[in-house]
Amino acid sequence: MYCVRNVTEDLYWVGANDRRLTLFENIHPIPKGVSYNAYLLMDESTVLFDTVDWSACRQLLENLYHVLGDRPLDYLVVNHMEPDHGASVEEILLRWPDVKVISTEKSFMLMRQFGFEIDGHELIEVVEGDTYSFGKHEVMFVGAPMVHWPEAMVTFDTTNGVLFSADAFGSFIALDGKLFADEVNFDRDWIDEARRYLTNIVGKYGPHVQLLLGKAAPILDKIKYICPLHGPVWRKDLGYFIDKYDKWSRYEPEEQGVMIVYASMYGNTESAANALATRLCEKGMTNVVMYDVSNTHVSYLISESFRLSHIVLASVTYNLGIYPVMHDYLMDMKALNLQNRTFAIVENGSWACESGDLMQKFVDEELKNMTVLNERLSMSSALKGDKETELDALADAIIESMKVEK
Ligand code: FEO
């Protein structure tokens, strides 16, 4: 059955939802699914903006046949060639061999690399600032390299203010009939998954997102709709989401708050983490969250690390090193370029306690623009009453550093 919705009078969402995929990019859990958005413009020419993952191709085709009726598909604009969007390009060429494909040089290169038989079809290569008219609608193509692959571009419809933003402004979570961000409670139900999507998929490329935001800045008042390749379409309160993107891509925390990530083998480091969290709350800092690094997928840890200003690393020593999953978390932070956070360290070891020094060294030497508080909580096997003063001092130091930041 077809499943489409109007975005504007002559623009249709013709994408698909995927609730069967367990891991996005075969790495990030998506318990609430994901949508692959594609859009069909019914102008004097018919224009498809992007396709969908191969697993959703049949839904795309049903949607296209339904909206097109007996009209042919005249153009296919490929803003992003990662296979979650580009995998169905070849099928489109098979069904509509006369379709003209508009994309960037690198995108056509990727199509060939993936083995698509595109040569023999009409390919229109565009560069930054090129415009194209489909009848009533004129569009402009704007490069968006590394948001999220090097070939990416966005397309701006200057006639009605629709920005086809590729991966930018996307989110995990499948659409349940509600297409627009103003039809859901985004701040309650979607923001965490939008942040987890952006920070884990494009987090490394903050400067490139900033570049794209810079290109959008002069025409912000002309952007009426943001149509991303995942998640809902934005037509109201665009500034709310643009501001989030600005913060995430500048690696600025959204909130003053403390994230305690603990690695505990037998519950003793966890017990110390509990004691620290309680102390912080008693002292008035209640924006505290705790995560067991062993049973929280690192994509959630990364998302929370982008949200909050302070991170407490509490780790047992393991094989004279950092607990392996804590080390993985740190490596992900490095890979995704997280910056501008304040760290506190809690270390544990039954003999030869090394984790504190090693975590400090990692933060100091491998991450950028980070601060590690001098106060450190150290324990041998378990935290006992004689460490009250150190526990207090660490909680005080965390809270004090927030005052300095303000
Ligand atoms: Fe949703 Fe970079 O693909």
Q: How far is the CA of 181 from the centre of ligand 1 (A)?
A: 19
- CA dist 157 and 164 (Å) reads 8
Strands 75-77 and 100-103: parallel
Residue 28 banded pLDDT, cuts 50, 70, 90: very high
Which of 295, 287, 209, 205 shows the shortest CA–CA distance to 245? 209
Exposure b/e, 263-294, CB count within 10 A at least 16 = b: bbeeebbbbbbebbbebbeeeebebbebbebe
Q: Is the pLDDT of residue 378 over 80?
A: yes
Q: Tell me if 148 CB under 6 Å of ligand 1.
A: yes
- Asked if residues 387 and 377 have their Cβ atoms less than 8 Å apart, the reply is yes
- CA dist 204 and 291 (Å) reads 23
- CA dist 137 and 160 (Å) reads 8
Q: Of all atoms in ligand 1, which is nearest to the CA of residue 202? A: 2
Q: Is the pLDDT of residue 19 over 60?
A: yes
Q: Tell me if 202 CB under 6 Å of ligand 1.
A: no
Q: How far is the CA of 80 from the centre of ligand 1 (A)?
A: 7
Q: Tell me if 18 CB under 6 Å of ligand 1.
A: no
Residue-level pLDDT at 62: 98
What is each CA distance from 2 to 48, 59, 62, 84, 148, in whole angstroms? 16, 7, 5, 20, 29
Q: Of all atoms in ligand 1, which is nearest to the CA of residue 166? A: 1
Say whether 104 sits in a helix, a strand or coil: coil
The string of pLDDT tens digits covering residues 247-267 is 999 999 999 999 999 999 999
Give the sign of the dihedral formed by CA 200, CA 204, CA 206, CA 209. Answer: negative
Token digits of residue 128: 């930054």
- CA dist 357 and 377 (Å) reads 12
Which of 75, 229, 100, 118 shows the shortest CA–CA distance to 163? 229
* Whole-prediction pTM: 0.96
**Average pLDDT of the segment spanning 76-105:** 98
**Average pLDDT of the segment spanning 84-111:** 98
Give the sign of the dihedral formed by CA 301, CA 255, CA 252, CA 174. Answer: positive
**Average pLDDT of the segment spanning 358-387:** 97
Q: Is the pLDDT of residue 406 over 60?
A: no
Q: How far is the CA of 390 from the centre of ligand 1 (A)?
A: 46
In the chain, % of residues over pLDDT 90: 99
Number of CB atoms found within 10 A of residue 395's CB: 25
Q: Tell me if 85 CB under 6 Å of ligand 1.
A: yes
- Asked if residues 369 and 250 have their Cβ atoms less than 8 Å apart, the reply is no
Q: Tell me if 229 CB under 6 Å of ligand 1.
A: yes
Residue 403 banded pLDDT, cuts 50, 70, 90: confident
Q: Tell me if 82 CB under 6 Å of ligand 1.
A: yes
**Average pLDDT of the segment spanning 38-59:** 98
- CA dist 225 and 163 (Å) reads 6
Q: Tell me if 78 CB under 6 Å of ligand 1.
A: no
Q: Is the pLDDT of residue 388 over 80?
A: yes
Q: What DSSP element (H or E) covers 133?
A: strand 131-133
Q: What is the mean pLDDT of the chain?
A: 97
Residue 173 banded pLDDT, cuts 50, 70, 90: very high
Q: Tell me if 230 CB under 6 Å of ligand 1.
A: yes
The set of residues, in sequence order, having a beta carbon less than 8 Å from that of 355 and lying 6+ positions away, is: 315, 316, 317, 318, 321, 322, 323, 326, 347, 348, 349
**Average pLDDT of the segment spanning 54-68:** 98
Q: Of all atoms in ligand 1, which is nearest to the CA of residue 36? A: 1
Kindly state the DSSP code that residue 44 receives in the 8-state scheme. S
Residue 405 banded pLDDT, cuts 50, 70, 90: low
The string of pLDDT tens digits covering residues 137-160 is 999 999 999 998 999 999 999 999
Q: Residue of the nearest CA to atom 3 in ligand 1?
A: 82
Q: How far is the CA of 399 from the centre of ligand 1 (A)?
A: 39
**Average pLDDT of the segment spanning 216-228:** 96
Residue-level pLDDT at 404: 74
Q: Tell me if 80 CB under 6 Å of ligand 1.
A: yes
Q: Tell me if 167 CB under 6 Å of ligand 1.
A: yes
**Average pLDDT of the segment spanning 379-406:** 92
Q: Tell me if 244 CB under 6 Å of ligand 1.
A: no
Residue-level pLDDT at 148: 87
**Average pLDDT of the segment spanning 279-284:** 98
What is each CA distance from 402 to 68, 201, 248, 309, in whole angstroms? 57, 29, 19, 8
**Average pLDDT of the segment spanning 228-247:** 97
Which of 22, 30, 21, 28 shows the shortest CA–CA distance to 53? 21
Q: How far is the CA of 49 from the centre of ligand 1 (A)?
A: 14
